[in-house]
Amino acid sequence: MAGLKVESYLQLRYTNDAAMGDYGSLRRAKAMITWDPGARLRIYGQLLYKSGNRATNDGRLWVQELWVRYRLGSGFLSLGQLKPPFGMERFTSDAALDTIDRSQPTDHLIPNGGLPRSFARDIGILWEG
């Protein structure tokens, strides 16, 4: 299928905690699919799985992002579940981070950012231009 790109990565973590003991975990496993079926249209999906982190959102497959973006004139109209445009840190790929966590203030300043199930994503329509 022309214009289709599939990517993935894993982040593993080892925790040495005197109170909780030592343990290893799958910090995150992500799969990203990008499809450009035409010059003006892009469809994107991102799946996330994590396990062994002793978190309430472990052990499930999550749809972290799923959106359609259409170019209209000098801008873009996006519809779906996507990253809210709040600070450049939000747009840095997890794979490009030197540390495994983002800053807590950034996540908590956006709607639903502090909720463990939301993974700091919004559902809606976004105009960029």
pLDDT digit string, tens, across residues 61-102 = 999 999 999 999 999 999 999 887 766 555 566 666 666 555
For residue 5, pLDDT over 70 is answered with: yes
Per-residue pLDDT reduced to its tens digit, 13-40: 898 888 878 889 998 899 999 999 999 9
Range of the domain at 33: 4-128
Burial tier of 46 (Cβ tally within 10 Å: 0-12, 13-18, 19+)? buried
pTM: 0.73
For the chain, the domain total comes to 1
Smallest Cα–Cα separation from 118: which of 46, 53, 66, 57? 57
- Quote the CA–CA distance of 122 and 78 in Å, as a whole number: 12
